[in-house]
Amino acid sequence: MKNFKRNGFLLVVLALLLSACSSGAINTSTSKEKTKEKVKDDSPIKIGALLPSTGVYASLGENLLNGMNLYFEEQNWEVAGKKVEIIHEDTEADPQVALRKLRKLTDQDQIDILTGPVSTAVAYAIRDEVDSKKLPFLDSHAGGNDLTRAKRSDYIWRSSFSSWQIGHSMGEWAYKNVGKKIYVTAADYAFGHEVAEAFKEAYTKAGGEIAGEVYPPLGNNDYSSYLGKMNKDGIDGIYAFYAGSDAVRFVQQYEQYGLKGKIPLIGSGWLTAEDTRPQQGNSPDGIKASIFWDYSLDTKENQAFKKAYEKKYNKRPSIESAEGYDAAMILAEAIKKLKGDVTDPDKLIEAMSSIELNSPRGPIKFDKETHNVIQNLYIVETGIVNGKTENKVIDTIPQVVDPGK
């Protein structure tokens, strides 16, 4: 009987000890979880920026990053009580390089959000990885239609433009304001063809006739043989999509070949962009183009943006600078909606997709169906002011919505 009582007592003591140990283990675990949560709460929000800093698109990447940095600097690099950090990786405008850099950003840096790139080919290359990892991705430049069409993902939204928006916005306007018969030319690569097709779609639907088409190779130096094909009697204008150094050479040679003043030249805004015109001399005088932002846009938001940008960088902002600034603003507004908690990608996407704001380019919001930005497109005309070329907004095509197909 004594042994039974003694054994019973020992069992009670043992039970109490196990209970205490168990309770301690639970408390320790809970403490660790709380510590982990606290560390997470104090960590910065990391934005990965896949943008080229070398190669042919280096200046575009630099200007995009400048715009993003300017916006977050205005917020003292803090949104909703959380520090914000941009981690930039150079894509070199190479899809395979970009894919490696993306994996570094996700696996090593553990970014919360992705933005960039410049190249559509890069955007297409990283699409599947972004989708499978459920990584919120705000495309801040690449304009290929399929990114918000055939390659649409729940986690990919675009704040820049689609190639369709650029070309289509000029089509009906050109029929009403330029003439009934137009020749089309663009650089021979996917984006150039997409812009040209969108223009033709809108122009012919309005009643216009395409007099012919020609597509010189990307990076072409001599346009004389192509300009010869365009030099046709009975046409009312030439629609052109060229950008960067191609735009510089094409516009200059258009004048040298004798077409300036004979056949009106219209096209996309990159023909006479802010960082292109200074190299073109007076050649762009008289060109009319469509674009979603221009330095001359006279709104309080754009005036404030230009003043701040020029103070910080001592130069005028470009289209890409405005894109970067807008992307940063959209991300910041989404972070505010979530009170700084960006741990749930689905909630972050939901918050981002509902953003509506007045940016330097005007009113912008997202199409919930296509994930593409809805925005104004502006018709700008280039003239000479005080011996230099300047653009002027002469018309607005309001709230252009990509059809998503």
User: What are the start-end ranges of the H helices in 104-189?
Assistant: 120-132, 163-177
- Where is average pLDDT lowest: 29-43, 139-153, 345-359? 29-43
3-state helix, strand, coil in the chain (%, to 5): 45, 20, 30
Q: pLDDT tens across 379-396, in order?
A: 999 999 999 999 999 999
Q: Which amino acid is at 56?
A: V
Q: pLDDT tens across 14-49, in order?
A: 444 444 444 443 343 333 333 334 345 689 999 999
pLDDT at 104 over 80: yes
DSSP annotation of 44 reads P
CB distance 321 to 66 below 8 Å:
yes
Q: pLDDT tens across 264-276, in order?
A: 999 999 999 999 9
User: What are the start-end ranges of the H helices in 231-378?
Assistant: 244-256, 300-313, 319-337, 345-353
Q: At what angle do helices 319-337 and 58-74 cross, to 10 degrees?
A: 40
Please give the Cα distance from 208 to 199 (Å, whole number): 11
Please give the Cα distance from 253 to 10 (Å, whole number): 100
Q: At what angle do helices 345-353 and 319-337 cross, to 10 degrees?
A: 120
pLDDT for res 55: 85
Please give the Cα distance from 231 to 4 (Å, whole number): 113
Q: pLDDT tens across 275-296, in order?
A: 999 999 999 999 999 999 999 9
Q: Residues for the chain: how many in total?
A: 405
Please give the Cα distance from 325 to 344 (Å, whole number): 24
pLDDT for res 41: 66
Please give the Cα distance from 242 to 167 (Å, whole number): 12
> Predicted confidence band at 405 (pLDDT cuts at 50, 70, 90)?
confident
What distance, in Å, lies between the first and last C-alpha atoms of the chain? 88
Please give the Cα distance from 287 to 294 (Å, whole number): 14
> Predicted confidence band at 336 (pLDDT cuts at 50, 70, 90)?
very high
CB distance 148 to 366 below 8 Å:
no
Domains and CATH numbers, the chain: 45-161+299-371 (3.40.50.2300), 164-291+379-400 (3.40.50.2300)
Please give the Cα distance from 74 to 84 (Å, whole number): 12
pLDDT for res 283: 98
CB distance 205 to 189 below 8 Å:
no
CB distance 361 to 297 below 8 Å:
yes
Question: What would the mean pLDDT of 56-73 be, rounded to a whole number?
Answer: 95
pLDDT at 7 over 90: no
